[in-house]
Structures are given as structure tokens and as C-alpha cells.
């Protein structure tokens, strides 16, 4: 039973396989947080709704642990909901009016004490993954308009501890998803995006522990916000040692007009608890994403080739055909033509918005290339950036009012381009029709949807009065809607979300995006860190990693082909090299890695991920995947730079069955799961950029040997 109701206490327990999350109504009628942690056994184990302590200057309601945290009365914490009514009242006091349970969903209805505003706190339980999805619905039931000034998807109240530590992801273009862990002191730590997209600088993922958790042990509270635009997560630690995490749409420059009868629905925020450390937290998110978020979660992702780093804007029918031939020989399954195939797109100064095939580069359209690619046994994929125009484009010359701008003020360009205002219905129609036509008239199986600048001057001059600041949400919702409609009409087409690398990676767009372009940084060493951070929040199936050429453009580093492949084989493998530059030996070697990848792909893409050795702690990084059936494990080991002649230290795998035997596929050595986990794998990795993949295969017929050994 995922939701246990305790009517005599007006309380509910959301129960997952290993956790309980309890809420209840207090004497005043407010919905209070009661408990979140390990499963409890007796009704009396849960605290009551009225047991908060009072402090001088901070009466009970001043340190309220309300689930929705309305801004009113004496609620001083980061608001969960802030509303201005037509008579300019800015006070919101929510009282319980009813609860509805349907299977795994609980909806608690609340109503403002005096005004006609109905708020529904929504909860959905994902038992297997110990996760709860939360969101808020706000309905204007009165006859005058109201304005929402802040609406968070969830307020998470953590148990009171003496120390809290926040884990989050930060970075920048070319250095996304860098992991940070820091102690929270009194005050607020805010991670946010105010740039129109999810952003490279922060990612809407969080984890909190009490200062003592590690990869495979310790209490961790974690989660993520499913939204691809204007968001913030606020970790607020009070001087009374409480911690609340507010996650949702950013209130900065946000205002939503709620007319009588209208409902505003927030995005979803998912949160969970584990007693088994960061690794378990990640595995829970990974599994949930695969089962409940990704629309093609159960499908293995194809090995792709992408033309970007090989030919940049200089794509044409002939050079793409030559690359396609070589890609097919390597074992590539999907060939993707990147930027440069449309309009007057010879560099990044022109063409965006003009989505017709460039006839100089493709005299007979894309069909001959697509036919050739499919005749070679590969899918065909294409790059688009539909939310943009270059000022130097036919589209912009015809519709200069289609971009975000303030009248009479300059329009700042980023990468020589401007952002289309997706809040406008005519722009939505243009974007949908453009893609619909492209997909209807070509045999395209894959779309890489890019977005290469942040918003600026976010004006919407023709908006209905009072709706101008809704663009931050309307843009994202329109984008989701376009993707949804395209996917309904073209269900076989897979989508990749890209924004100058990993600028739009989150669980909101993940409902539509089968995979993400993780970073424009394809340096295999840097990638170890980027991918390490990424794995905390998102599964490996969604993480696209290309093998590109050496010297890599990012750091000028030379890395052997083996290391580059191994690094990219930890997610969805792609090839981004100019294949004409490879020697016959390198072609053969590369084909070997691709064949090996196909063998281990189900384990890497769908298995349980264990992070064994972090890139920043030593000269060795190691990540392991255990197949869902438990029958095999794949361990990736990377030696960055040997020093002082030290041997590589042993890597200790996790997640094996202690009493089953496993054979090292390469050496033939057999040990028990415990034997491998306790003693570790000792590898001869020397010099710079050495790497290995170790496959441990479970040996059947285990019982005999263990029993006879234990008897001795
Ligand atoms: C972005 C993407 C790249 C490539 C270029 C094309 O930078 O991240 O992979 O598609 O755009 O202009």
C-alpha cells in the first residue's frame, strides 16, 4: 500500500520499499511535514502535527514546517507559494479541505482562509525507487484575477541534525556537471538558472547528507527538478538547525496572471531518501528515469556517428557519403549530419531560421545521402536549432518581432543569434511545422535539437497586459508541447537534447529527450570528471559520449585511442572523428572497441552504476556497471598519469553476489564475489592515459565448491 491514511490523526504516510514520508494537518488546519526517513512500524512512531518547538521571537508558526510553505502569517522561510490578490492582499494562509487517494497518488486540497484560491499538493509514490514526485496546482476559484509571484514544486523538510552537507553540480560550457560538496551553514545556498535554459553553470539536482555519508553508506536525501528553464533550489539552514529545501520555478522576474477559473501547475520535483549512500541515491534516480521518465527507457541506444568535429559547417553530400561509408564499416548504427546543411549556413553568422536544404551543398536535397546512409544499414539523424534565428536570415528579415526583445532597445546577440519567442503561438506553429515537414518528407530517425545561447532582453511586447513575465515558463512549456506533438506524429524518431553541450540536461526535457549531448568538451580525461558528476543525477543511457581526434581542440592533449574509447564507452557511444584521418590500423582498432561496446552495452546502459574511484582523489578513476540480472559486471579503470613508478592501486568492485563465483573474462581468474570485492582487481596500468575494461562473468554451478570449502 503506497499511501497509508490515518484519518483519526488527519495524517498520511507515503510508503516506498524502504522509506516513509509522513504529513499531517495541525490544529490550525495547516498541512505539516511530520517525518521522512527509514520505514517505521507503529502509528505512534510518527510525530504529531503540533509538536513543533516555540522559540522567543519565533513562535510555532514562525518555524513552521508546512509542506507548501505559503507566504503569509508569520512564515519567514523561503516561500513555496506567494500570491497577490486583486485587492493587493499579499497574505496566504492555507487550510486543509480534503484528501484524495488514487493508487500511488495522494492529492491534498487546501484553501486560503479568506480568498477563493484552491491549492492542491500532489504526491506520487515510486515504491521500488524510494522516490516521491511532488508538484503544486493553484486554482483561482474566485471572480477576480490573482498573480502568482512564486510557486515552488516542492518544499522538502529534512530531519533536524547538527550538520548538513549539500552536494550539487556546477560548471560552465565545456566543463558541465562538476561535482561539489559543501557544508551548509546558517543562511541560504541557492543553485539556480536565470538564463532561459537549464544551464551549464548549475543543474537542478541536489543531495544532502549529515556530513558522514559516502558512496556506499550513509543517509542521503536527494532529488531533482523536472524543468528546463528558469529554476532555483534553495537550501535554507536556520539558526535552529532545521533545513528546508525549496525547489521550483525561479521567482526572479516571474509573475503569472491567474484569471478566474484558471489553474497553474508547477513542474514536478522528485525526491528520495536512502540509508546507503550516494551510489544508491544515483542508482535509484537512474532506475526511475529509465522506468518512469524516458519514453523509450527500455530501448538500448545506438552507436552514432556525428559529423560536427569532422567537417564543422563544411558538410556536403560527397564528404558525408565518404564518412558514412567508413562509419558503417566501423559498426556505427546511426549517422548524424550536424550543423551546416541548411540555409546560407557556411559559418555561425547566418542561416538559423531558414530550414531549407542548402542546394550548393546538397544539390539534390538530402534524399540521396539519406538513401545512401540507410543502404549502408544505418539510421539517419539530423541537427537542428529551431528556437533560434540569425539576424542574417530570411526568417528574421521577415519577422523581426518574433524574437525576445524590448522595443527600441538593442538586441544582444550570442553566437550571432537571437532567441525566438516561443511564448507566441505563431512562433510555436512555425517551429512545429518546420520540424513536422522535415520529418514528414525525409526518412529521419533521429533529431539532435540544439540551443546555443542564453536569453537576454526577455521582452514580449505584444503580450496581453500582465503576462510579460510568463515567458520563462511559457517558453519551456511550449518547447515540451512541440516535442510531444512531434513525437506523437513521428513516434519512431528519437531526440537528443543539446544546448552547446550539456546546457539543457534535466528530468523535464528527459520526458521527451532520449539522450543528451553531455558536453562539447570531448577531451577523454576531462570527460571522466564531467561524466562522474553527470552520473550522480542522470543515467548512463542518456549520456552521449563521442570519441574524437587527438590532439583534442579543448586542451591540446594527446590521448591514446584506447583511453578515448574506454572513456566514451561509459555512456551511449558516439564517434566524432574525421574518419579519413585514421590509419588502417586505427580503423581496425576502433572497430574492435565498437564491437566490444555492443557486447557490454546492455550492462553499461541499463545496469547498476557503482562509482569506485573518483577522478580528483588520485591518479585513477574507476566506474563499474553491474548487469540488471547480476550475471556480469563491467569495470572501467583509467590511469591518468603514473608518478614515482607507483603501481596502480587495486580497484575494489561493488554489488557482486558475495557467494557466487565470477571469472575475469580476460585472465580467466575465478574468485567469489566477496573475493573480488575485498581484495580488488590489481591492474598493470602504467605511464600516462592507460586504461582497461575488466569483465567479471558469473560462473554457474557455484554451490558445490562453496559448501566443500566451508566444511573444511
Ligand atoms: C553546439 C553543439 C555542437 C554542435 C554545434 C553546431 O555547440 O553542442 O555539438 O552541434 O553546436 O553548431
Residues with Cβ within 8 Å of residue 368, at least 6 apart in sequence: 317, 362
Alpha-carbon distance 228 to 513, whole Å? Answer: 12
Cβ of 450 closer than 6 Å to ligand 1, yes or no, is yes
Per-residue pLDDT at 706: 55
Q: Is 520 a catalytic residue?
A: yes
Return the C-alpha torsion angle 343, 347, 350, 355, nearest 10. Answer: 30
pLDDT attached to residue 712 = 45
Residue with CA at minimum distance from ligand 1 atom 2: 500
Q: Does residue 43 form part of some domain?
A: yes
Give the residue numbers spanning the domain of 459: 304-606
282 and 422 together in one domain: no
What separation in Å is there between the alpha carbon of 323 and the centre of ligand 1?
Answer: 18
Instruction: Tell me if residue 581 falls in helix, strand or coil.
Output: helix
Domain boundary among 272, 293, 314: 293
What is the average pLDDT across 616-637?
96
Domain end (from 237, 263, 293): 293
Residue 430 grid cell: 512555425
212 an active-site residue? no
* Angle, helix 471-489 to helix 425-441, in steps of 10 degrees: 30
Mean per-residue pLDDT for 312-325? Answer: 98
Q: What is the pLDDT of residue 649?
A: 94
239 belongs to a structural domain: yes
Q: Residues 328, 289: one domain?
A: no
226 C-alpha vs ligand 1 centroid, how far in Å? 24
Q: What span, in angstroms and rounded, lies between the C-alpha atoms of 227 and 198?
A: 7
Residue 74: the pLDDT is 84
- Catalytic one among 520, 523, 526, 690? 520
Distance 584 CA to ligand 1 centre (A): 29
Atom in ligand 1 nearest the alpha carbon of residue 383: 10
CA 406 to ligand 1 centroid distance, Å? 28
CA of 308 to the centre of ligand 1 (A): 7
396 CA distance to ligand 1 middle (Å): 21
Atom number in ligand 1 closest to CA 499: 8
Centroid of ligand 1 to alpha carbon of 114 (angstroms): 53
How would you classify residue 396: left for phi > 0, otherwise alpha for psi between -120 and 50, otherwise beta?
alpha
User: Shortest CA distance to 706 belongs to which of 662, 642, 640?
Assistant: 662
Residue 168 pLDDT greater than 70, yes or no: yes
Nearest to 273 by CA among 122, 159, 155, 104: 159
Instruction: List own/partner pairs for 367-372 with CB under 8 A and 24 or more apart.
Output: 367/442, 368/317, 369/317, 369/320, 369/321, 369/324, 369/337, 370/442, 370/443, 370/444, 371/443, 372/321, 372/324
Residue 530 CA, ligand 1 centroid: distance in Å: 17
Q: Which of 200, 313, 338 to mutate to test the pocket of ligand 1 (most atoms within 8 A of CB)?
A: 338
**Ligand 1: nearest atom to the Cα of 448:** 10
What residue's CA is closest to ligand 1, atom 7?
500
Are residues 60 and 173 located together in one domain of the fold?
yes
239 and 169 share one domain:
yes
Q: Residue 639 domain-assigned?
A: yes
Task: Please tell me the distance between residue 267's alpha carbon and the centre of ligand 1 in angstroms.
Answer: 28
pLDDT digits (tens, 9 = 90+) for 664-687: 999 999 999 999 999 999 999 999
In a domain, 299, yes or no: no
Instruction: Give the largest CA-CA distance in the chain.
Output: 89
Residue range 20-46: mean pLDDT, rounded: 96
Ligand 1 site-directed mutation target among 351, 452, 499, most atoms within 8 Å of CB: 452
146 in any annotated domain? yes
For residue 416, being part of any structural domain is answered with: yes
The answer to whether residues 263 and 384 belong to one domain is no
**109 membership: H or E segment, kind and range:** strand 105-112
By three-state DSSP, how is residue 329 classified?
Answer: helix
Residues 569 and 485 in one domain: yes
Q: Is the beta carbon of 338 within 6 A of some atom in ligand 1?
A: yes
Nearest CA to ligand 1 atom 6: 339
Asked if residue 184 belongs to a domain, the reply is: yes
When pLDDT is averaged across residues 422-448 and rounded to a whole number, the result is: 98
Whether pLDDT at 62 is above 60: no
Q: Cell digits for 594?
A: 565498437
pLDDT over 80 (residue 61): no
Atom of ligand 1 nearest to the CA of 500: 8
Q: Are residues 392 and 440 in the same domain?
A: yes
Question: What is the mean predicted confidence (pLDDT) over 502-525?
Answer: 98
Same domain, 273 and 246: yes
Residue nearest to atom 11 of ligand 1 (CA): 500
Q: What is the mean pLDDT of the segment spanning 113-122?
A: 98
- Evaluate: CB of 236 within 6 angstroms of ligand 1: no
**Mean pLDDT within 694-709:** 73
- Work out the pLDDT band at 1, boundaries 50, 70, 90: confident
Same domain, 44 and 136: yes
Contact present, 267 and 249 (Cβ < 8 Å): yes
Q: Is the CB of 498 under 6 A from ligand 1?
A: yes
Cα–ligand 1 centroid distance for 678 (angstroms): 44
**Pair (29, 156) in one structural domain:** yes
Task: Answer yes or no: do 60 and 156 share one domain.
Answer: yes
Whether residue 577 is found in the same domain as residue 642? no
- Mean pLDDT over each residue of the chain, to the nearest integer: 96
Asked if 404 and 459 touch (Cβ cutoff 8 Å), the reply is yes
Determine the average pLDDT of the residues in 504-511.
98
Pairing of strands 105-112, 117-126: antiparallel
Nearest C-alpha to atom 8 of ligand 1 is from which residue?
500
**How much of the chain, in percent, has pLDDT values that exceed 90?**
94
| Close Cβ partners of 263 (under 8 Å, ≥ 6 residues apart) | 137, 138, 139, 140
Domain containing residue 109: CATH number: 2.70.98.60
Does residue 442 form part of some domain?
Answer: yes
Q: What is the CATH number of the domain that holds 650?
A: 2.60.40.1180
What is the spatial distance between Cα 301 and Cα 711, in angstroms, rounded to a whole number?
Answer: 47
User: Nearest CA to 307 among 294, 322, 296, 295?
Assistant: 322
Per the structure, how many domains does the chain have? 3
pLDDT band of 56, cuts 50, 70, 90:
confident
Q: Is the CB of 308 under 6 A from ligand 1?
A: yes
- Region 512-540: mean pLDDT is 98
- Whole-number Å distance between alpha carbons of 32 and 563: 52
pLDDT digits (tens, 9 = 90+) for 347-386: 999 999 999 999 999 999 999 999 999 999 999 999 999 9
- Counting atoms of ligand 1 from 1, which one is nearest the CA of 498? 8
Residue that is written with C-alpha cell 512500524 in the block: 41
Nearest to residue 283, comparing CAs of 588, 609, 28, 569?
609
Collect all residues with Cβ–Cβ distance below 8 Å to 153 and sequence separation of at least 6.
Answer: 134, 135, 136, 225, 227, 247, 248, 249, 266, 267, 268, 269
- pLDDT-derived band at 271, boundaries 50, 70, 90: very high
- pLDDT-derived band of residue 239, with 50, 70 and 90 as boundaries? confident
Q: Is the pLDDT of residue 296 over 50?
A: yes
Q: Is the beta carbon of 72 within 6 A of some atom in ligand 1? A: no
Candidate from 309, 311, 314, 339 with most ligand 1 atoms within 8 A of CB, to mutate? 339
Q: Which of 264, 293, 322 is the last residue of a domain?
A: 293
Judged against a pLDDT cut of 60, whether residue 608 lies above it is answered with yes
CATH of the domain at 358: 3.20.20.70
Which of 112, 251, 450, 526 does the annotation list as catalytic?
450
Is it the case that residue 51 has pLDDT exceeding 80? no
Compute the half-sphere exposure of residue 630: CA atoms within 13 Å on the CB side of its CA: 9
Beta strands (DSSP E) in 559-614 are 572-575, 608-613
The finding on whether 226 has its CB within 6 A of some atom of ligand 1 is no
Report how far residue 129's alpha carbon sits from residue 291's, in angstroms, rounded to the nearest whole number: 10
- Could you tell me if the CB of 494 is within 6 A of ligand 1? no
The residues pairing with 672 across neighbouring beta strands, listed in sequence order, are 661
Amino acid at each position: 500500500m503506497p499511501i497509508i491514511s490515518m484519518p483519526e490523526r488527519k495524517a498520511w504516510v507515503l510508503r516506498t520499499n524502504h522509506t516513509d514520508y509522513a504529513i499531517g494537518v495541525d490544529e490550525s488546519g495547516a498541512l505539516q511535514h511530520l517525518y521522512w526517513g527509514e520505514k517505521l512500524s507503529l502509528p505512534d512512531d510518527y510525530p504529531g502535527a503540533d509538536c513543533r518547538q516555540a522559540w522567543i521571537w519565533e513562535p510555532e508558526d514562525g518555524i513552521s514546517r508546512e509542506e507548501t510553505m505559503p507566504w503569509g502569517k508569520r512564515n519567514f522561510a523561503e516561500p513555496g507559494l506567494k500570491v497577490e490578490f486583486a485587492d493587493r492582499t499579499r497574505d496566504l494562509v492555507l487550510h486543509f479541505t480534503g484528501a484524495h487517494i488514487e493508487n500511488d497518488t495522494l492529492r491534498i486540497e487546501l484553501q486560503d482562509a479568506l480568498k477563493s484560491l484552491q491549492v492542491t499538493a500532489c504526491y506520487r509514490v515510486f515504491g521500488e525507487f524510494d522516490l516521491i514526485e511532488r508538484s503544486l496546482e493553484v486554482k483561482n476559484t474566485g471572480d477576480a484575477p490573482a498573480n502568482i509571484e512564486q510557486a515552488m514544486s516542492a518544499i522538502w523538510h529534512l530531519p533536524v541534525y547538527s550538520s548538513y552537507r549539500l552536494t550539487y553540480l556546477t560548471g560552465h560550457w565545456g566543463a558541465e556537471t562538476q561535482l561539489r560538496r559543501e557544508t551548509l551553514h546558517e543562511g541560504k545556498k541557492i543553485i539556480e538558472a536565470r538564463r532561459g535554459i537549464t544551464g551549464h553553470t548549475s543543474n537542478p539536482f541536489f543531495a544532502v547528507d549529515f556530513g558522514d555519508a559516502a558512496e556506499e553508506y550513509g543517509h542521503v536525501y536527494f532529488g531533482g527538478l523536472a524543468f528546463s528553464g528558469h529554476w532555483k533550489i534553495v537550501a535554507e539552514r536556520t539558526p535552529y538547525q532545521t533545513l528546508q529545501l525549496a525547489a521550483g520555478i525561479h521567482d526572479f522576474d516571474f509573475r503569472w496572471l491567474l484569471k478566474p477559473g484558471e489553474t497553474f501547475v508547477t513542474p514536478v520535483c522528485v525526491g528520495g531518501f536512502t540509508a546507503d549512500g550516494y551510489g544508491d541515491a544515483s542508482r535509484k534516480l537512474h532506475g526511475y528515469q529509465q522506468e518512469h521518465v524516458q519514453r523509450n527507457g527500455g530501448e538500448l541506444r545506438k552507436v552514432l556517428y556525428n559529423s560536427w568535429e569532422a567537417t564543422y559547417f563544411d558538410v556536403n553530400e560527397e564528404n558525408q557519403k565518404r564518412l558514412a561509408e567508413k562509419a558503417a564499416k566501423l559498426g556505427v548504427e546511426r549517422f548524424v549530419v550536424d550543423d551546416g546543411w541548411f540555409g546560407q549556413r557556411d559559418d555561425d553568422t547566418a542561416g538559423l531560421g531558414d530550414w531549407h536544404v542548402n542546394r550548393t551543398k546538397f544539390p539534390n536535397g538530402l534524399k540521396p545521402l539519406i538513401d545512401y546512409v540507410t543502404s549502408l544499414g544505418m539510421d539517419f539523424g539530423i541537427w537542428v536549432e529551431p528556437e533560434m534565428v540569425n539576424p542574417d536570415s530570411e526568417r528574421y528579415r521577415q519577422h523581426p518581432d518574433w524574437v525576445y526583445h524590448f522595443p527600441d532597445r538593442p538586441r544582444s546577440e550570442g553566437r550571432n543569434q537571437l532567441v525566438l519567442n516561443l511564448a507566441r503561438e505563431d512562433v510555436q506553429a512555425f517551429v512545429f511545422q518546420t520540424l513536422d515537414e522535415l520529418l514528414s518528407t525525409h526518412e529521419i530517425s533521429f533529431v539532435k535539437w540544439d540551443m546555443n545561447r542564453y536569453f537576454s532582453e526577455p521582452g514580449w511586447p505584444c503580450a496581453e497586459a500582465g503576462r510579460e513575465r510568463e515567458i520563462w515558463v511559457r517558453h519551456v512549456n511550449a518547447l515540451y508541447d512541440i516535442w510531444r506533438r512531434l513525437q506523437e506524429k513521428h513516434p519512431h524518431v528519437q531526440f537528443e537534447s543539446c544546448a552547446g553541450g550539456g546546457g539543457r540536461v534535466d528530468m523535464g526535457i528527459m520526458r521527451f529527450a532520449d539522450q543528451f549531448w553531455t558536453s562539447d568538451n570531448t577531451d577523454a580525461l576531462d570527460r571522466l570528471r564531467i561524466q562522474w558528476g553527470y552520473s550522480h543525477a542522470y543515467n548512463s543511457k542518456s549520456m552521449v559520449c563521442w570519441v574524437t581526434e587527438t590532439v583534442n581542440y579543448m586542451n591540446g592533449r594527446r590521448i591514446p585511442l584506447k583511453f578515448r574509447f574506454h572513456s566514451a564507452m561509459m555512456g551511449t557511444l558516439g564517434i566524432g572523428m574525421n574518419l579519413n584521418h585514421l590509419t588502417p590500423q586505427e580503423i581496425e582498432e576502433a572497430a574492435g572497441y565498437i564491437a566490444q561496446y555492443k557486447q557490454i552495452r546492455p550492462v553499461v546502459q541499463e545496469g547498476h552504476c557503482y562509482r569506485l574511484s573518483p577522478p580528483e582523489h588520485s591518479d585513477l578513476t574507476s566506474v563499474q556497471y553491474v548487469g540488471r540480472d547480476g550475471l556480469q559486471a563491467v569495470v572501467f579503470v583509467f590511469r591518468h598519469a603514473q608518478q614515482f613508478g607507483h603501481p596502480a592501486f587495486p580497484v575494489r568492485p561493488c554489488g557482486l553476489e558475495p557467494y557466487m563465483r565470477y571469472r575475469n573474462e580476460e585472465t580467466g581468474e575465478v574468485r567469489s564475489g566477496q573475493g573480488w570485492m575485498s581484495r580488488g582487481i590489481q591492474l598493470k596500468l602504467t605511464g600516462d592515459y592507460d586504461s582497461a575494461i575488466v569483465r567479471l562473468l558469473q560462473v554457474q554451478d557455484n554451490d558445490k565448491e562453496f559448501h566443500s570449502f566451508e566444511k573444511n
